[in-house]
Amino acid sequence: MLQRWYKHGLIYEVSVRAFLDSNGDGIGDLPGLTAKLDYLATLGVTCLWLLPFQPSPWRDDGYDITDLYGVHPDFGNLGDFVQLVEQAGDRGIRVIIDLVLNHTSNEHPWFLAAREGHPKFRDYYVWSGRRPPDAEKGIVFPGVQKTTWSYDRAARQYYFHRFYDFQPDLNVANPDVREEMSKIVEFWVQLGIAGFRMDAVPFLIEPVSGEDPHPGPRFEFLHELRGRLSWRRGDAILLGEANVERDAIEDYYTVGGMHMLFNFPANQHLWLSLATEDGRPLVRALEETAGIPAADQWANFLRNHDEIDLGRLSDEERATTFAAFGPRKRMQLFGRGLRRRLAPMLGGDRRRIELAFSLLLTLPGTPVIYYGDEIGMGEDLSLPERNPVRTAMQWSSDRGGGFSAATGNALAVPVISSGEFGYRSVNAADQERDPDSMLRWLRGAIRVRTECPEFGTGAWKVLPTRDPGVLAMRFDAGGGAVLALHNLAADRRRAALRMPANERAGLRELFADGSYDDVRRPFELAGHGYRWFRIE
């Protein structure tokens, strides 16, 4: 069987800026991240996903880029980047990076030239002589962003921007722009990376507006980009951010050539299932997202650097989820999401956090963990928009949480210093020493999962349990089979699974939230309990 690396292992999402500052300037950097590769390897990370680290005025956490071929001088240089990739590779860790092609910063030299009417660069962006009538449609950040077309005095025209007005959209309909994008892809692959997390893919290929004179090249453009990528490095991947309807998903995989997509439906319904203590919403989402091409793979996540987008739930379902995990207005964002970290959403309750991770590690697909969640970091709700979950990594109980030798205002990102989730209570060094810590528990869980390739790659089915609070899933691959049971409810439950006698006799428990009696009895599960079995 062809082994595809992205179907195994674990992806770890990290912000270079917030991870570790190696030179005391208050800003996390590439050498800092490189110094922590052993920590990541020990956790079981097999692929690092780096959030943007290119030169940027940093008005949208680096997604406003001024040089798509560079490294922000605060983080180091291209040499430091290559060293990171090399040393990660020595530990069996691949590196993928964010690929932001939808827009640039308005300070990018291309846009500065475009505003002045440069014959080549003018057409790198999308302009209109008049303000299009649909300029208030398709706003990505409601309440923060007022329009998608803004007037530029120098150009004396309106320019299009899906996101903030300082992020003009690139004109994908222009073949020169598409060629430039392919060059960017080839450049980074040549430096040794294993692929890209593609930002905002639908916006790259959707037509700009009803009046757009250049209908976008749509999926053929993605296909072209994938071709250029695969020619340079056969096993490099595209992991797309595309929160789209189920009907559209097929095209992203088959025509667009994405290897992976984030499973947004599963994420939203997992939170709904946790809120309602009912596995059925999650099962529905898994069934709806099943059946993707065999070579492709879902990327599952609990949290990431953005808000949890609950936009695909009904109003009532969303209200239920808000009430359970973010009842206060300041915990919510854009009317659709939660701007909170995993641990505080679950009330800092270790049993519920373990349950959530156990689900993540056993769902069909590849798990993605957001930095800091492995130690149960919290959020800082005093920060604006999506920033509460973007605070500094908490390494130790030293001043500044061990993130940087600099202090106070010199820090590029705040450190959570007080309360239940402050760095004195929650940090990697203390958890390293404590055999019962969250970090050591998660390491163990990841290790067991690594020995069960069925979880990530197997054919799966949901087994009836006669209790909506208990989710039972079986995974088969390469002649092996595993079983995962999860009790979403707070109280003790029994799962009445029907299994052939020989399979029941061959059950071997691999991992559980506690110790249970003989497995041949009806399956007991403590409140928020979980049990993984191998079927021999």
C-beta of 429: minimal distance to Mg ion in Å?
20
Does 23 bind Mg ion (CB under 5 A)? Our answer is yes
CB 527 within 8 A of CB 489: yes
Q: In what order do the strands lie in the sheet with 459-463?
A: 459-463, 470-477, 480-487, 530-535, 507-512
Which residue number, 25 or 152, has a Cβ lying nearer to Mg ion? Answer: 25
18-26, 57-65, 421-429, 436-444 -> range binding Mg ion (CB under 5 A): 18-26
Does 20 bind Mg ion (CB under 5 A)? Our answer is no
C-beta of 22: minimal distance to Mg ion in Å?
6
DSSP designation for 295: T
Contacts (CB under 5 A) with Mg ion, residues 290-319: none
C-beta of 290: minimal distance to Mg ion in Å?
44
21-29, 299-307, 391-399, 460-468 -> range binding Mg ion (CB under 5 A): 21-29
Q: By C-alpha distance, which of 340, 305, 400, 425 is closest to 12?
A: 305
C-beta of 24: minimal distance to Mg ion in Å?
7
Residues 6+ apart with CB under 8 A from 481: 454, 458, 474, 475, 534, 535
20-28, 155-163, 452-460, 516-524 -> range binding Mg ion (CB under 5 A): 20-28
29-37, 99-107, 439-447, 467-475 -> range binding Mg ion (CB under 5 A): 29-37
Applying CB under 5 A, the site for Mg ion has a residue count of: 5
Active site positions, annotated? 199, 241
What are the counts of helices (DSSP H) followed by strands (DSSP E) for the chain?
18, 21
Judged by CB under 5 A, the residue of 10, 14, 18, 27 near Mg ion is 27
Which residue number, 409 or 502, has a Cβ lying nearer to Mg ion? Answer: 409
C-beta of 53: minimal distance to Mg ion in Å?
12
Judged by CB under 5 A, the residue of 6, 10, 21, 301 near Mg ion is 21
Which residue number, 75 or 475, has a Cβ lying nearer to Mg ion? Answer: 75
23-31, 122-130, 236-244, 451-459 -> range binding Mg ion (CB under 5 A): 23-31
Collapsing DSSP to helix, strand or coil, 79 comes out as: helix
C-beta of 74: minimal distance to Mg ion in Å?
7
Does 29 bind Mg ion (CB under 5 A)? Our answer is yes
Residues 6+ apart with CB under 8 A from 227: 257
C-beta of 395: minimal distance to Mg ion in Å?
14
C-beta of 25: minimal distance to Mg ion in Å?
4
17-25, 213-221, 222-230, 484-492 -> range binding Mg ion (CB under 5 A): 17-25
DSSP designation for 96: E
Which residue number, 261 or 412, has a Cβ lying nearer to Mg ion? Answer: 412
- 385, burial (CB in 10 Å: exposed 0-12, middle 13-18, buried 19+): middle
Judged by CB under 5 A, the residue of 4, 5, 25, 202 near Mg ion is 25
CA dihedral 121, 125, 128, 132 (to 10 degrees): 180
Does 35 bind Mg ion (CB under 5 A)? Our answer is no
Which residue number, 37 or 482, has a Cβ lying nearer to Mg ion? Answer: 37
The CA distance from 536 to 509, in Å, is 11
Collapsing DSSP to helix, strand or coil, 160 comes out as: strand
C-beta of 29: minimal distance to Mg ion in Å?
4
Q: What is 413-445 written as a DSSP string?
A: S----SSTTSTTTS-HHHHHH-TTSHHHHHHHH
Q: Report how far apart the first and last C-alpha atoms of the chain are (Å, whole number).
A: 21
Q: What is 331-359 written as a DSSP string?
A: GEETTTEE---HHHHTTT-HHHHHHHHHH
For the four alpha carbons of 282, 488, 485 and 504, in that order, the dihedral sign comes to negative
Side-chain half-sphere CA neighbours of 293 within 13 A: 15
Q: What is 361-414 written as a DSSP string?
A: HHSSSEEEEETTGGGT----TTS-TTGGG-PPP---SSGGGGS-SS-GGG-SS-
Which residue number, 28 or 217, has a Cβ lying nearer to Mg ion? Answer: 28
Residues 6+ apart with CB under 8 A from 234: none
Cβ atoms within 10 Å, residue 66: 19
Which residue number, 21 or 98, has a Cβ lying nearer to Mg ion? Answer: 21
Q: Which run of H or of E encompasses 456?
A: helix 453-457
Collapsing DSSP to helix, strand or coil, 472 comes out as: strand
Which residue number, 23 or 417, has a Cβ lying nearer to Mg ion? Answer: 23
Q: By C-alpha distance, which of 384, 439, 407, 404 is closest to 19?
A: 404
Which residue number, 25 or 123, has a Cβ lying nearer to Mg ion? Answer: 25
Does 58 bind Mg ion (CB under 5 A)? Our answer is no
Which residues contact Mg ion by CB under 5 A? 21, 23, 25, 27, 29
